[in-house]
Structure 1
Amino acid sequence: MGTRQQFIRGVLLLIILVPQSSVQISSTVPAIILFGDSTVDPGNNNAIPTLLKSNFDPYGRDFYGGKPTGRFCNGRLATDFISEALGLPPTVPAYLDPDYGIREFAAGVSFASAGTGLDNATSDILAVIPLWEEVAYFKEYIQRLKRYMGKAKAQRRLREAIYIVSIGTNDLLANYYTPGIHSRSPQFTIDQYQAFLISIADSFITEIYRLGARKISFSSLSLIGCLPMQRTINAANGGCFEERNNVAREFNLKLYQLAGSLRARLPGIKLVISDLYDYVQDILFNPSKYGFENVDRGCCSTGMFEMGFLCNAMDPFTCPDANTFVFWDASHPSEKMNYLLAMKSLNSALAQFLS
């Protein structure tokens, strides 16, 4: 094990004793670039006409200055902590945030949109930014970056940046398993739909590779059946929706197969699957080990089904200390959980980019 990886592992031993502390790894990573859904969206949805927003209290109550930024969390996202640990700014800005420009975006930028998916039909459900449009913004960003620092330096930065892609949960939970005009369930069996999503992931990764991306981390699905909202839907049977957790595991296996295929086809690509399924499972089934007291509902409101506008400052039930909760609302991790996920990612998948 390399010295840097040993350091990261040592940091993990401290995170329970010193939650959400600032850690920094000696790194030459010049930028972090994000694609995906709410897990990596710091506020792009603020700029589009969608109902899926979180730029109001109590979201962001533990963020700098207690500011609701559009992050679906009480504080920072996992990718904010990753950015800080790499010696980059402590938050990654949203590309559509008018308060930031190419100077800030050169070190980190997110094109992600809460509620989106690999499938265009998923983004149509709540009128959010589809993945193809995230790529269009990336192309625009590349041209801005070249004008800002010159073509050669921009191309080098694009090659050396770390790309984190977190997407897919909404395709299953908001699309396939939710009846509606955009649902794909009448068209596909679950196996067929997973194959369809994998084909889109293949095209997406190939496209950003063509545009200059080399160090790419694609997040696997977690225990989607254990989200508080899914527990609420499955209340009659009690506990997690194990069928949906099994689907997530099957999808993750297909992601690993895709990664192997892409590494064989795309010279110089460094593609890893960031798989935190087992780690999250351990947290959910041994919460006290990580300092948590609640795993089955979110801190905000009743925590059983609320997110977005249903999680608001007028609700009297929101918990006083989100650090005791794995989830902030019915679908999204608390800041403390995001911190743990960030440190685990740095110690596993992302460590391959730091050696």
Structure 2
Amino acid sequence: MPSNCSKCVCAVESLKIKYLLPPYLDPNLRAEDLITGVCFASAGSGYDPKTPKILSVISIPDQLNFFQQYVGKMRSLLGEQRSNDVVENSLYVISCGNNDVLLTTLFHTRTKSSEMVSYAAFLAGQASAFLRELYRQGARKIVHLSALTTGCIPAFRTLLGGVQRQCSDESNELAVMFNEKLSDEIQRLNDDVLLPDLTVQFVDMYTPFFDIIRRPENYGFVVTKEGCCGTGTIEFGFLCNRLSPSTCADNSKYIFWDSLHPTEKVYKILTSVIMKDINKLL
């Protein structure tokens, strides 16, 4: 929850809970899956209400409604006391904000520095409200991942990076602003005496991901500006399939699988960063 499950899946595997984190909306979901964890995320969603509308994905309020349904199902399965114990002692991993940053810089809706600062504060405020509601519904141990180095994904290099396909400074700057505002909001939540037992851990994913991009050889990567799928410059999602021409034979040398998403190898490296903070909450 709420917008990307890839890193959450790796965390679940690292904790040896189960190999895959099933989506809550899976029609074949079993009762035992509810008890050991599910994913409420909808890839492409964001804290800005416009983001899920543009990308036609599940909004944050709708994800919260699904979580409320989940809590109700848990009570039916386990009874109120035990279900409360499960909900309060569960770990909640959140990755959100990247798509808000991407869309804003892609469409150049905020080009002035003051507008970007204001938007970053707006996103952080939305995140704070979301975390408070999650707390109200029973969550107590939460890990919130920062935005990544969004300006360096292959698609943005292609669309905004000029002939040399450089990183988009505008996108990276907005990601940094959001991360700073989000970190401040999380600190305020942790200090709020009206939210007893709440612990929200902010995890900086921007720095380690940027380090992978800047020093790929340290991690065994060779290709940094293109994804493995197809040309690696613009294809993503359903455009990456078995018929995509020129898809690489060895994606372990690539930072990106397609023009938007890192490879599994990168996610596992970043998971090692997440796990240090997760272990603090366990």
SS in 2 for 1:96: coil
Q: Indicate how the Cα distance of structure 1 residues 322 and 189 shifts in structure 2: closer, same or farther if over 3 A, else same.
A: same
> What's the CA shift string for 1:150-182, capped at 9, x where partnerless?
1111111111111011011111212x2233xxx
Distance, in Å, in 1 between the alignment partners of 2:115 and 2:210 is 27
- Shift of the alpha carbon at 1:272? 0.8
Q: 1:178 aligns with which of 106, 129, 134?
A: 106
C-alpha distance in 2, partners of 1:248/1:172?
6
Residue 58 of structure 2 corresponds to 129
Asked if 1:36 corresponds to 2:36, the answer is no
**1:197 pairs with 123, 127, 131, which one?**
123
Matched with 1:294 is 223
User: 1:1-355 residue pairs with structure 2 within 5 A?
Assistant: 35-37=1-3, 39-40=4-5, 77-174=6-103, 176-179=104-107, 185=110, 189-233=115-159, 234-236=161-163, 238-265=165-192, 266-347=195-276, 349-354=277-282
Per the TM alignment, residue 101 of structure 1 is displaced from its structure 2 partner at its CA by 2.5
TM-aligned CA deviation for residue 185 of structure 1:
4.2
Amino acid at match of 2:68: K
Are 2:44 and 2:52, in contact at CA under 8 Å, matched by a contact in 1? yes
SS in 2 for 1:122: helix
Quick one: distance in 2 between partners of 1:155 and 1:264?
Answer: 24
- Point out the more displaced range, 232-241 or 274-283: 232-241
Distance 1:286 1:248 in 2: 20
**RMSD (Å), alpha carbons:** 1.6
Verify the 8 A CA contact 1:161 1:215 in the aligned structure 2. yes
SS at match of 2:201: strand
Contact 1:184 1:193 in 2 (8 A): no
Identity of aligned residues (%): 34
Provide the C-alpha distance between the structure 1 equivalents of 2:13 and 2:85, rounded to a whole number of angstroms.
Answer: 21
Where in structure 1 do 4 or more consecutive aligned residues deviate above 6 Å? Answer: none
Give the superposition deviation at 1:284. 1.0
Aligned 8 A contact 1:116 1:129 in 2? yes
Residue-by-residue CA offset, 1:110-151 (whole Å, 9 max, x unaligned): 110011111111000121100000000000000001111111
Distance 1:184 1:142, change over 3 A: farther
Segments of 5+ residues of structure 1 without an aligned counterpart are 1-34, 41-76
Q: CA deviation at 1:312?
A: 2.2
Amino acid at match of 1:255: L
Q: 2-side partners of 1:276 and 1:261: how far apart?
A: 20
TM-superposed deviation, 1:80: 1.8
Separation in 2 of the partners of 1:231 and 1:191?
A: 23
Q: Which amino acid aligns with 1:334?
A: T
Q: Residues of 1 paired with 2:75 and 2:156: CA distance? A: 44
Q: State the partner residue of 1:68.
A: none
The structure with the largest helix share of the pair is: 2
TM-score normalised by the chain length of structure 1: 0.75
**Whole-angstrom CA distance in 2 between matches of 1:161 and 1:172:** 29
1-structure distance, mates of 2:203, 2:250:
29
Question: Does the Cα contact within 8 Å between 1:93 and 1:105 map onto a contact in 2?
Answer: no
Matching residue's letter, 2:58: I
Task: Compare 99-108 and 211-220 and name the one that shifted more.
Answer: 99-108
Contact 2:123 2:178 in 1 (8 A): no
- Aligned residue type for 2:189: L
Q: How many residues align?
A: 277
CA distance in 1 between counterparts of 2:245 and 2:173 reads 36
Instruction: Report the CA distance between 1:237 and its aligned residue.
Output: 5.5
| Correspondence for 1:60 | none
> Does the residue aligned with 1:239 lie in a helix, a strand or coil?
coil
Write the distance in 1 (CA, Å) between the matches of 2:76 and 2:260. 39
Q: Structure 2: give runs of 5+ residues left out of the alignment.
A: none
- Code of the aligned partner of 1:230: F
Residue matched to 1:14: none
d(CA) in 1 for partners of 2:174, 2:7: 24
